[in-house]
Amino acid sequence: MLACAAALPVRGESSTPALKIVVAGGHPGDPECGCAGTIARYSDLGHNVVLLYLNRGEGFCGGASLGRCAAIRTAEAGKACQILKARAAFAGQYDGRAIVDAPRYEAFDRVLAAESPDVVFTQWPIDSHRDHRAVSMLTLDAWLKSGKRFALYYYEVAEDTMMFSPGEYVDISSVESRRRAACYAHASQQPDKWYPKQVEITRSRGAESGFPQAEAFLRHPESKRALLP
Contact footprint for Zn ion (CB under 5 A): 26-27, 30
* Residue nearest Zn ion, Cβ-based: 27
Closest separation in Å from C-beta 131 to Zn ion: 6
Pick between residue 194 and residue 211 the one whose CB is nearest to Zn ion: 194
Distance in angstroms (rounded) separating the CA atoms of residues 99 and 105: 9
Pick between residue 26 and residue 206 the one whose CB is nearest to Zn ion: 26
Closest separation in Å from C-beta 26 to Zn ion: 4
- The beta strand positions in the chain, using DSSP E, are 20-25, 48-55, 87-93, 119-123, 151-155, 168-171, 214-219
Closest separation in Å from C-beta 191 to Zn ion: 13
Q: How far is CA 158 from CA 13, 198, 215, 224, in A?
A: 35, 5, 12, 27
Angle at the Cα of 15 from the Cα atoms of 12 and 17, rounded to 5 degrees: 85
Closest separation in Å from C-beta 41 to Zn ion: 22
Closest separation in Å from C-beta 50 to Zn ion: 17
Closest separation in Å from C-beta 224 to Zn ion: 27
* 49 beta partners: 21
Q: How far is CA 162 from CA 58, 173, 210, in A?
A: 25, 24, 23
DSSP 68-135: HHHHHHHHHHHHHHHHHT-EEEEEEE-TT----SHHHHHHHHHHHHHH--SEEEEE-SSBSSHHHHHH
